[in-house]
Structure 1
Amino acid sequence: MKSLGFLSFGHWSPERGSQVRSASDVLLQSIDLAVAAEELGLDGAYYRVHHYARQLASPFPLLAAVGARTSKIEIGTGVIDMRYENPMYMVEDAGAADLIAGGRLQLGISRGSPEQVVDGWKHFGYAPAEGESPADMARRHAAIFLQQLEGKGFAAPNPNPMFPNPPGLLRLEPHAPGLKDRIWWGAGSNATAEWAAEMGMNLQSSTLKDDETGEPFHIQQAKQIRAYRARWAEMGHERTPRVSVSRSIFALMNDTDRMYFGRGKERDQVGFIEQQRSIFGRGYADEPDRLIEELKKDEGIAEADTLLLTVPNMLGVDYNAHVIESILTHVAPALGWR
């Protein structure tokens, strides 16, 4: 059994053929897709976060809206770039969204990926401390965020407050009990996966990772997951962690599916990001019986307890609901995911 969700990159564009032509369209359709996915029996609705782009950027209004329109489905991100975040204010936003959703938030955070502009976090008012890299700054923000999610008082109350205070030091409000255990770190290397385990976060294994061994992506990803779980056990955390991977998976059910995705087999791709050799995982598209046999060979999927299906959101809600239903009906049962 696996927890199955969708991951939307939240693109919008007025170009010809797009069903998502504006920022308003992508926000409203993101809510509608979560509602449709919940009705189909999917377990999670996750959204990518990118700044300076025609994509979803400010996650918490969207997460709160999805929480208000649904009742069962997990609602998450994959991922929030912590270089851009004020961790104190983020605690308040996340707490409010989680309470609206009834404790269903699953927040993926990370050091971020290359963005549309150079050092975009500078324009948000953030800068690494002396001796820090931007990645170090992101991890520092994440550590503060995790600490404040514990809900412990730390701020001295005003002796003459406008409204009465509870006794003792004050914490950030609203506090969302249990949210700290539902934070995930998006890791692109074995070392950052192990750091996530040390910090007590769940793992979102990235769609790309440092090419550390030259092996196929899914094998490197499986090794990363095993290293994460080993480090988690060494840390002695009490709870069982969760691990997600994401894949583009399309069951070719009709001529429309074949037109969009019937290009033949894809392969891993290797490239360089910020001078680091990186490997990008392949996608899957085939007739259901052949698709099932291909997916059986994916060691990364086998190691994870949660699989996020990346969806082509610009093709509209109805088509993406069809993509999800095809996997749930014709693929997931044969693989033991359902």
Structure 2
Amino acid sequence: MKNIGFLSFGHWSEGPHSMVRTGADALLQSIELAVAAEELGADGAYFRVHHFAQQLASPFPLLAAAGPRTSRIELGTAVIDMRYENPLYMAEDAGAADLIAGGRLQLGISRGSPEQVIDGFRYFGYVPPEGTSDADMAREHTRVFLDVITGKGFARPNPRPMFPNPPGLLRIEPHSPGLRDRIWWGAGTRATAEWTAEQGMNLMSSTLLTEDTGVPFHQLQAEQIQRFRDAWKAAGHEREPRVSVSRSIFPIVTDLDRQLFGRERGSTDQVGFLDGGNARFGRSYAGEPDELADELAEDEAIAAADTLLLTVPNQLGVEYNAHVLESVLTHLAPKLGWR
């Protein structure tokens, strides 16, 4: 059994075939797709965060708006770039959005990906301390964020406050109990996956790993997941962790599917150069349902994960993306034992 959700980058453009032409379109259609996904029986609606791009950027207004429109589906991010975040302000936003959603947030966070602009986090007012890197800064922001969302007090109260204070040190408000256990780290390497486990965060792994050992992507990712689980056990955490992987999966069941994704048949891994090192990109899956079921059954990382996020081509509109989700849920999930 697997949790199955979608992951949207929330692109918009004025291209001739785009159904998402403005930022407003991207936001409103994201909410509508979350509603449609819940109605279809999917388990999660996740959104990517990219700054300085015509894509979804500030996640908490979107998550807060999707909360009252849904009742069961998980609402999450994959991922928030922690180089750009004020961890205390983020804790307030996250607590509020989680309370609005009734405790359904699943927040994926990370050091971030290659940017649209040079050191974009500097425009947001964040500069790594001397002798440290932007990755160090992202991890420090994460440390503070994880600490304050536990709900423990840390701020000295004013002896003459505007409103009466409870006794002791004050915490970030609003506090949402349980949110700390629903934080995920987007890990791009095996070593980062082990660090994720040590911090007590769930593991989020996408279709890109910033290392390459020569083995197929799904096998490298499966090794990453196993290292995460081993490190989690060694750390002695009490709860069971969660692990998600992302895939582009397009069952071809209509002529339009064939027109749009027929060329993706036979897709293979790609090896490239990213951020100063080798990277391996996972393949896309497209084909007739029986053909796809056989191929997906061989994906070791999907087998090892409890959550599968389907990356969707959001610019094709809500109706078509709901069709893709329905096709996976009805044509593939039962064949593979995911449902």
Same-fold call, TM cutoff 0.5: yes
Identity of aligned residues (%): 71
Distance of 1:237 and 1:14 partners within structure 2: 48
SS in structure 2 of the partner of residue 245 of structure 1: strand
How does 1:1-338 map onto structure 2 within 5 Å?
1-263=1-263, 264-338=265-339
SS in structure 2 of the partner of residue 170 of structure 1: coil
SS in structure 1 of the partner of residue 268 of structure 2: coil
* 1:109-143: CA deviation from partner (whole Å, max 9, x where unpaired): 00000010000000000011122111111011111
Distance of 2:176 and 2:130 partners within structure 1: 33
Distance of 2:315 and 2:57 partners within structure 1: 16
Distance of 2:197 and 2:79 partners within structure 1: 17
Distance of 1:239 and 1:49 partners within structure 2: 28
**How many angstroms does 1:14 deviate by?**
1.0
Asked if structure 1 preserves the Cα contact closer than 8 Å seen for 2:151 and 2:172, the reply is yes
Asked if structure 1 preserves the Cα contact closer than 8 Å seen for 2:210 and 2:274, the reply is no
Asked if structure 1 preserves the Cα contact closer than 8 Å seen for 2:206 and 2:247, the reply is no
Distance of 2:282 and 2:207 partners within structure 1: 6
* 1:128-173: CA deviation from partner (whole Å, max 9, x where unpaired): 1122111111011111100001110111111111111111110010
| Runs of 4+ residues deviating >3 angstroms | none
Distance of 2:126 and 2:213 partners within structure 1: 35
**How many angstroms does 1:211 deviate by?**
2.6
SS in structure 1 of the partner of residue 11 of structure 2: coil
SS in structure 1 of the partner of residue 20 of structure 2: coil
**How many angstroms does 1:207 deviate by?**
1.8
**How many angstroms does 1:276 deviate by?**
1.1
RMSD value, Cα = 0.6
SS in structure 2 of the partner of residue 234 of structure 1: helix
Asked if structure 1 preserves the Cα contact closer than 8 Å seen for 2:189 and 2:210, the reply is yes
**How many angstroms does 1:335 deviate by?**
0.3
One-letter code of the match for 2:229? Answer: R
Distance of 2:109 and 2:207 partners within structure 1: 14
SS in structure 2 of the partner of residue 146 of structure 1: helix
Q: Which runs of 5+ in 1 are unaligned?
A: none
Question: TM-score scaled to structure 2, two decimals?
Answer: 0.99
SS in structure 1 of the partner of residue 225 of structure 2: helix
SS in structure 1 of the partner of residue 250 of structure 2: strand
Number of residue equivalences = 338
**How many angstroms does 1:210 deviate by?**
2.4
SS in structure 2 of the partner of residue 272 of structure 1: strand
Distance of 1:177 and 1:89 partners within structure 2: 17
Asked if structure 1 preserves the Cα contact closer than 8 Å seen for 2:204 and 2:244, the reply is yes
**How many angstroms does 1:108 deviate by?**
0.1
One-letter code of the match for 2:249? Answer: I
**How many angstroms does 1:206 deviate by?**
2.6
Question: TM-score scaled to structure 1, two decimals?
Answer: 0.99
